[in-house]
Structure 1
Amino acid sequence: MSHHAIIVVDLGYGDAGKGTVVDWLCATRPVRAVIRFNGGAQAGHNVVLPDGRHHTFAQFGSGTLRGVPTHLSRFAVVDPLALSAEAAHLASIGVRDPFALITADPEALLATPYHVEAGRRRELARGDDRHGSCGMGVGEVMAYSLAHPDLAPRVGDCASPDVLTRKLLRLRAVLDVSGPPVADCVAAFQDFSGCVRFAAGLPPGGPLVFEGAQGVLLDEWHGFDPYTTWSTTTFANALELLGGAPAVRLGVVRTYTTRHGPGPLVTEDPSLVVPEPHNLFGPWQGAFRRGHFDAVAHRYAIDACGGVDALALTHLDAPVSRMCVAYEGLDRLPVNGGAALTSLPMTPVYATVTDWPSAVSSALGAPVVLRSYGPTSDDKICAEGSVLSGQVLV
């Protein structure tokens, strides 16, 4: 069966390697565009090319260094100021005219400095009960749009200064923040509208790679409250955008389970020292934490997604050998029963792993079709005869 798209989703708390998987897909087959279908500027997908160039992708798709265009769908939260900064870095490492490689749906929500200020203020007010915000205002964008759907600034408003001014004045008043003068924001967002082409729906012609942000264990519906994101991190948004067109649902996991900031990490082990050059302490997220591979949590993520077709397994070069195969008395969490992780003590049951691809495939009930032994596309091995081998996209 041919497929119109591959959807790449993180089955953990984020940082599993979605960016490097998308980069490999774009390097090994003809991809029409990378579609961002959730989240916003808080994403941090690291891509390293074989020649050593590195970029942390936030809103641009992780195929940009391969010349593959990005489309920010109506489910993305677009931050024009952060996008401009990202474009500047891409230009500095050799991408000619990055804005020529990006389109945005006019219905996508806008993130503004006012959302950022309000979100950071809210997180600071939580004190020791912080949720681990990325500090980019995405949660405030979503909350405001739900409370004031007709007043929420959207990408298309950037081409209408009067509409945008009215919405931003109202936004700043409702959120009770200071921030930069509204006129300055309007001018910057008008510049954005002159650089980025607006386009509703998906780019025509396919094939497409859908790049998810964050991870299923942070999902707004299925994550472990209150340590969740205001975003649907499963395959749902991508499938809705595809409207029934066939797609490969590719889940990404790494050989050890990690998360940024507070929240449950059942297998956490402070003695687990693995170099993470691109994952450091964040002033808003907090510490980068490491734990052993948690098959129970990843099974839960797969169930919450409605299943996966295949798996990509990253960080196979890491010196790790333990897998949590169950919690004492429990080997599977019911979907939407994840609250147990924040209310009950969980004791992991471990097994020693010598063959990671086989162990992960067996534990999660899906084939590992892509193995990653390092950060570049040259460090990837695709299983012969798998759903990703050959020209899976047509």
Structure 2
Amino acid sequence: MRAKTAVVLGAQWGDEGKGKIVDVLSDGFSAVARYAGGHNAGHTVIISGQKFVLQLIPCGVLRPNCMGIIGNGVVLDPIAFLKEVARIRELGVDVDGQLRVSNRAQVILPYHRMIELAAESAPGRQKIGTTSRGIGPAYEDKMARSGLRVVDLLNPALLKTHIEAACAEKNAIVHALYGTEPLDPQKMFDEYAAAAEQVRPFVVDGARMLNGIIKDGGSVMFEGAQGTMLDIDHGTYPFVTSSSATAGGAATGTGVGPTNIGTVISVTKAYVTRVGEGPFPTEIHDPIGDHLRARGNEYGAVTGRPRRCGWLDIPLLRYSNTINGAEWLVVTKMDVLDELDEIPICIGYEIDGKVTDEIPADVHGLEAIKPVYTKLKGWQSSTEGITDFERLPRAAQDYLRFQEKESGAKIGMVSTGPDRDQTMILPEFAEILKELHR
């Protein structure tokens, strides 16, 4: 019998609408666990017109009786965390009763932000398009075994020693390389020692808690951040994030073994977007891209940065579904395509005169891609708010069935608007959800 668990992740470069989908699906789950990334990722959830923007906190806390757990694979900025907690608390959410943080999560400190900002702004350096929130340098310290974990944050003596040693090293390096002014270790210690006491009530052994929920028959959803093509191993390297955004990260980022992962649900828009630098084979460079950006409100939930827009990329989606072992596909923002008379879909790549559907591993190969398109008929009528598949225009149904047939995963849900209620759940997937919620 499968464990009552599911991974929900992004199929492309993030911003696929995972926040809304996790919120919709979390009804009936015992816990939602975030397994990667930091406060560089944002999820927007709209419930009866009220907007919630979450950065670190798992979407499950917006459901009564659902625990939100920040896993060990996340990097946690204590100050940003406490600000978000205060904001969500003010909106009436029982964040104190429903939110927990793994004691093994790594901590972001001010020198991580200093290093990332200085490096990203340095003349002659290849820009990745980071958010300069210290995510990458915190993961670098983690892998160098010189990082600070939440359990260490709670030990004032250890925290003081760590900050003093780290500042002596980081200040010297950043000043020498970039001319940046040094950070004050005493001021940093005072601020973070005080923050630690406010974080303390949330701290638990995350792996123990999650495995206990599963053992007791509860259900757990693993909430991904960013998207598959930003994964440190499998994405468009080096234009990627610093953590494992794919389904494999759910096991390493929470301490729940892979045999306890029940199913994988991949979220894709009806088109594709990307924020920041990096290759994007199907990017639209004409006014239609601006049209999609305006209709889809394609601006970052955290940064406000405009997103680059492109057509659906079937080879990329197929690759993503393979890497993640995705069984189910959730399609979001169908309504954004409502006004188009025809819709191109990339079905293959031409690279150096040869047609292939293989994703090149290197940036040069990705940049050399000439997409091979087929065009499907648009429906030019509103799909907003439709929750019954049969009520969709025939051309919209055909678009979804083509996507399902070519991608290798079954469509389980379709989002036809930003609100929680503007969602259709197909019958076969509804049965799967019943099994997960029992």
* Residues in 1 aligned to 2:303 and 2:237: alpha-carbon distance in whole angstroms: 18
Gap regions ≥5 residues in structure 2? 175-181, 378-394
Task: Quote the residue 2:323 is aligned against.
Answer: 304
Q: CA deviation at 1:118?
A: 1.1
Q: Is the 8 A contact 1:169 1:182 kept in 2?
A: no
Q: What SS does the corresponding residue of 2:435 show, helix, strand or coil? A: coil
The one-letter amino acid paired with 1:8 is V
The one-letter amino acid paired with 1:242 is V
Q: Is the 8 A contact 1:257 1:291 kept in 2?
A: yes
Identity of paired residues, percent? 25
Task: Quote the residue 1:229 is aligned against.
Answer: 241
Query: Counterparts in 2 of 1:207-226, with a 5 A limit?
Result: 207-226=219-238
- Is the counterpart of residue 381 in structure 1 residue 424 in structure 2? yes
Q: CA deviation at 1:163?
A: 0.4
- Is the counterpart of residue 62 in structure 1 residue 59 in structure 2? yes
Label 1:296 to 1:61 Cα distance change in 2 as closer, same or farther (>3 A). Answer: same
- Taking only aligned residues, the RMSD between alpha carbons, in angstroms, comes to 2.3
Q: What SS does the corresponding residue of 1:330 show, helix, strand or coil? A: strand
Task: Tell me which of 322, 331, 345 is aligned to 1:313.
Answer: 331
Label 1:351 to 1:126 Cα distance change in 2 as closer, same or farther (>3 A). Answer: farther
* Residues in 1 aligned to 2:126 and 2:405: alpha-carbon distance in whole angstroms: 37
Task: Quote the residue 2:368 is aligned against.
Answer: 344
Deviation readout 1:100-140 (Å, 9 max, x if unpaired): 32211211100112211111111111557310102211100
Task: Tell me which of 148, 161, 167 is aligned to 2:162.
Answer: 167
Worse-matched range after superposition: 10-19 or 238-247: 238-247
Deviation readout 1:145-191 (Å, 9 max, x if unpaired): 222x1x31110012200101111222222222634522233333323
Highest RCO, 1 vs 2 (Cα 8 Å, sep ≥ 6):
1
Greater helix content: 2
Task: Quote the residue 1:12 is aligned against.
Answer: 12
Task: Quote the residue 1:293 is aligned against.
Answer: 312
Aligned residues: 386
TM-score, normalised relative to structure 1: 0.91
* Residues in 1 aligned to 2:195 and 2:399: alpha-carbon distance in whole angstroms: 47
Q: Is the 8 A contact 2:103 2:203 kept in 1?
A: no
* Residues in 1 aligned to 2:316 and 2:362: alpha-carbon distance in whole angstroms: 9
- Is the counterpart of residue 258 in structure 1 residue 256 in structure 2? no
Q: What SS does the corresponding residue of 1:361 show, helix, strand or coil? A: helix
* Residues in 2 aligned to 1:19 and 1:4: alpha-carbon distance in whole angstroms: 20
Task: Quote the residue 2:256 is aligned against.
Answer: 242
Q: Which is greater in Rg?
A: 2
Q: CA deviation at 1:37?
A: 0.7
Q: CA deviation at 1:286?
A: 5.1
- Is the counterpart of residue 391 in structure 1 residue 391 in structure 2? no
Q: What SS does the corresponding residue of 2:12 show, helix, strand or coil? A: coil
Label 1:284 to 1:175 Cα distance change in 2 as closer, same or farther (>3 A). Answer: farther
The one-letter amino acid paired with 2:58 is G
Task: Quote the residue 1:103 is aligned against.
Answer: 100
Task: Quote the residue 2:386 is aligned against.
Answer: none
Task: Quote the residue 2:92 is aligned against.
Answer: 94
Task: Quote the residue 2:399 is aligned against.
Answer: 356
Label 1:127 to 1:82 Cα distance change in 2 as closer, same or farther (>3 A). Answer: farther
The one-letter amino acid paired with 1:170 is A
Label 1:277 to 1:86 Cα distance change in 2 as closer, same or farther (>3 A). Answer: farther
The one-letter amino acid paired with 2:193 is A
Q: Is the 8 A contact 1:369 1:388 kept in 2?
A: no
- Is the counterpart of residue 194 in structure 1 residue 200 in structure 2? yes
Q: CA deviation at 1:280?
A: 2.3
Label 1:337 to 1:303 Cα distance change in 2 as closer, same or farther (>3 A). Answer: farther
Q: What SS does the corresponding residue of 1:250 show, helix, strand or coil? A: strand
Label 1:145 to 1:126 Cα distance change in 2 as closer, same or farther (>3 A). Answer: farther
Task: Quote the residue 2:140 is aligned against.
Answer: 143
Gap regions ≥5 residues in structure 1? none
* Residues in 2 aligned to 1:236 and 1:138: alpha-carbon distance in whole angstroms: 20
Task: Tell me which of 35, 38, 45 is aligned to 2:43.
Answer: 45
* Residues in 2 aligned to 1:285 and 1:197: alpha-carbon distance in whole angstroms: 31
TM-score, normalised relative to structure 2: 0.82
